[in-house]
Amino acid sequence: MARWNSCNILHVAPDAKRVWQFDAKGGGFVLNREQRVPHTDRLPAKGIAKHWSSLWSPKLNVAWLPAESVFLRVIELPASNFEETLAMVELQLEKFSPLPVTQIVWTMHVVGTHTAPAKGDAAPESLQTVIVVVVERSVVEEFLGRLEKDGFLADRLESPMLDQLAAVSPTEEGAWFFPLSLGGQNAALVAWWFGGVWRNLSFVTLPPAGDRALELKDQLSHIAWSGELEGWLTAAPKWHLLADPVNATEWENVLRAALNEPVKVSAPPALAELAVATAKRAAAAEKSGLLPAEFTLRYHQQFVDRLWLRGLAYAGVAYAFCLVIYFCAVSVLNFRTTGVEAQVAAISNDYTNALQLKARHGVLQERQQLKYAALDAWQLVAQELPPELALSRFSFENGQTVTLGGQVAADDITKIFDFNDAIRKVKVKGQPVFNPTPDTSQQLSYRTSQGGQDTWNFGLTLLRTETEADSQ
């Protein structure tokens, strides 16, 4: 039972379809909901159909077979385990089955064990009472077809008559009547209790007309004779009637007239109580019961296929949802892009004009910087030039290169070197003005000429102008 999370019991009554939904709690089942559905309406899918949640919260769907479709037989077998008992019943099935074995489905239910009296010198034997339930296969298939149309895929087929018997606690030997309807005709299940076990289960019917009491007496007499022949009817039985007030009045009068004996009337268990008893029994069962194996396999395959199809459908919906989000995002971005492009188009002329003005301003600023750079370089050279040196050449090229040249007396040749070192070390506001490391073409060179005068020249690379220094 622990493996089931819920259980649904379906009863196709003559007046309507009734569904009880139970939740597994505390080792049993607790009624959650009871529904009454007209025959013309489909069963509600909620709570009955199996979905993804059934994988971790399994539910058990059980349907009650109509009483007129079920044949019950009580047999006694040596006490054994379930598998051996099942094999023993299968060996004897042809003896008591009303139909060929190939045309039926069957199951069994062990209702108790007892010790048989010793025979001769043999030791007392431990026996078990087994109720065998037999149903015609074509009836089961037709019944399952009707359930499938209603969307109810049964996991088990059960008979509530077994739970009616389990609800009785006999304290004396006798016969118990359970009124029911067999194909629209008044009938009753008669259960005979003798020797501390159920001995026989039979159906009796009430004719709609004629001497009903006499007809009922004849049916009961045939069962009693059978019991006497089999040896279990050893005394006059006590008569018990389990019926609701409506059936109790009719059956009590007929029974008293037929038997001329007192009949003890008791209230039967409610249908909801029988449903919860069926749920407990079905959940603890070891065999699939009356449901043919091919239906079990087909229902399982349908459940798996349905999960796959729904999974694919959910994946498709999720994919479509992602596509919608993607296209919405693309649309929004396209809208924003179009707006930006419109703004760019609106200001493109202004932007082009601004670039032109910026370029012109850069040219003018560069010219101004070059102009002041040449003046600043001239000023620094004039300040550092020793009086012994004569400057005959000063050129400023490319905004960076300064070339100096002139004459010096042969006796003052060292002044040229001092001037070269001094001008390269000049700083303005702590920053050097000229590159202190000249390249090959800018190194100091001199040569001696006529008249005792030497010619010299060297180049300087302007690192920064005073204007740039001031701007920083």
pLDDT digits (tens, 9 = 90+) for 151-162: 899 999 999 999
Q: What is the structure's pLDDT at 464?
A: 58
Task: Give the chain's domains with CATH numbers.
Answer: 6-291 (no CATH), 370-471 (3.30.1360)
Does the pLDDT value for residue 462 go beyond 90? no
Q: What is the structure's pLDDT at 466?
A: 44
Average pLDDT over residues 316-343: 93
Higher pLDDT pick, 468 / 424: 424
Does the pLDDT value for residue 263 go beyond 50? yes
> Could you give the C-alpha distances from 146 to 142, 150, 189, 291, in angstroms and in order?
6, 7, 26, 14
Highest mean pLDDT among 2-6, 140-144, 204-208: 140-144
Average pLDDT over residues 411-438: 82
Higher pLDDT pick, 449 / 258: 258
pLDDT digits (tens, 9 = 90+) for 28-61: 889 999 999 998 888 888 888 888 777 888 889 9
Average pLDDT over residues 441-451: 76
Q: What is the structure's pLDDT at 421?
A: 85
Q: What is the mean pLDDT of the chain?
A: 86
| 25/31 Cα distance (integer angstroms) | 10
Does the pLDDT value for residue 70 go beyond 70? yes
pLDDT band, very low/low/confident/very high, at 288 (cuts 50, 70, 90): low
Average pLDDT over residues 346-350: 85
Does the pLDDT value for residue 119 go beyond 80? no
